Amino acid sequence: MGYSSLDDLVNQISTNGKFGRIDYNKTTAVAGVAGTWTDLGTATGSVPASTYAGTSLTYVPTDDTWSEGAVWHGGNVSTATKHFLNAGASIFAAAGAPWILMCVDQVGYVPITGADVTGTGARTITMTALDSGARWPNGVGLRAYFSTEVAPTAGGPNLTAMTYTNQAGTAGKSIGVTVGFAATPVTGMVPHSGNAATRYAPFLPLAVGDYGIRDLEAFTLSTGTAYTGSGQLVLHLVKPLWSIPIPASGIYSERDFVNQLPSLPNIPDAACLKFLVFQTGATTSASPLIVSADYGWN
């Protein structure tokens, strides 16, 4: 339903108590790499580190009860709608500033392990396509990115093919470009981000005109140099919600979502909130990161 006016917003918060708060903190798992995005799921803190458990190439849906790291935001409020009112974040690190923090709703993920990381053939993903009952109906607005759960020993392959079913239900859509992966992506790193040609960040591109993903179908890591070792990758399917700049270490940056346009990012029932961070320099290992946000519903 949302708010009909600022008066309504004030009334729902102050009179009816329809608001809550998120507090989140992490300690960076390893030294970051300058110019890359990091999935904070692998870092310790509150919520705990994720292991992205599951069978390789089999999609795992996630919601606000996901035991590996969902941020609790008060449960379902339907038929009301829930919205971010503001957010703030701080990183305290000797190196790495400035940063960009992004909040996403992770709809699900695909674990990628063993030969599915090191091989060079096409990998087919097992996933049931999202339908109109999904919390982002038909996958509208969803984007995909890879992250590194366990660092491969070495390599640097290219994502030479990736297909998906788009928001309209058209299968076999191709991202249309070759995407380079980093040679030695550290834990948490989005391997297709960074300072090199053919890097796309934070999300993989979609075909012209597409604006969502219903189904992750297949991908091929080939050419370049195949990964070695026992690394583990994760392919995430997410809805970007907001981002906030963090210009300096130790200074809390705040964002008011009531007064931006469009305002009040929606938190759907069962949303699995997660955070990504972009680092300009190499963020010092074991640096604390805190995020807090207020939300309300009506």
Partner 1 sequence: MPFRNLRQLTDATEGKTWISSYRKAVAATATVAGQWYDYSYAGGNPIANYYAASPLVSSVLEADKGIIVPSVPAGSKQFLHRWMAMSAAASATSTTNQNQQMYMLDYLLYYPFVDMDAAGEDQTMAQTQVLPRYTDGVGVQMMVVAQSGTVGGGRFTITYTDTTDTQRTTTSMFCGAAAAAGSLVNAVLATGGLTPFVPLAAGVRGVKSVQSVNFSVANGGLCCVVLVKPLVDSWIREEARRTTSGTIESFGDAMEVEIPRTRAGMVEIQNGAFLGILGRGAAGSLASSVLVGTVETVWG
The contact set with partner 1 (CB under 8 A) reads 34-35, 37, 94, 97-98, 100, 102, 140-141, 167, 177, 193-197, 199-203, 205-206, 208-209, 211-212, 240, 243, 245, 247-251, 253, 259-262, 278, 280-281
Closest approach of partner 1 to the CB of residue 199, in Å: 5
Closest approach of partner 1 to the CB of residue 268, in Å: 11
Contacts (Cβ under 8 Å, ≥6 apart) of 271: 63, 64, 73, 105, 135
Is residue 33 a contact partner of residue 194, using CB atoms and an 8 Å limit? yes
The Cα–Cα gap between 229 and 214 comes to: 32
Closest approach of partner 1 to the CB of residue 90, in Å: 10
Q: Which is nearer to partner 1, 17 or 209 (CB)?
A: 209
Closest approach of partner 1 to the CB of residue 67, in Å: 29
Q: Which is nearer to partner 1, 47 or 213 (CB)?
A: 213
Q: Which is nearer to partner 1, 152 or 180 (CB)?
A: 180
Q: Which is nearer to partner 1, 187 or 249 (CB)?
A: 249
Is residue 56 a contact partner of residue 112, using CB atoms and an 8 Å limit? yes
The Cα–Cα gap between 218 and 162 comes to: 6
Closest approach of partner 1 to the CB of residue 260, in Å: 6
Contacts (Cβ under 8 Å, ≥6 apart) of 131: 137, 138, 214
Query: Is the alpha carbon torsion for 40, 184, 160, 55 positive or negative?
Result: negative
Is residue 95 a contact partner of residue 279, using CB atoms and an 8 Å limit? no
Cα end-to-end distance, the chain, whole Å: 6
Q: Which is nearer to partner 1, 120 or 280 (CB)?
A: 280
Q: Which is nearer to partner 1, 123 or 192 (CB)?
A: 192
Closest approach of partner 1 to the CB of residue 110, in Å: 21
**Angle at alpha carbon of residue 251, lines to 249 and 254, rounded to 5°:** 125
What are the tokens at 146? 């890879």
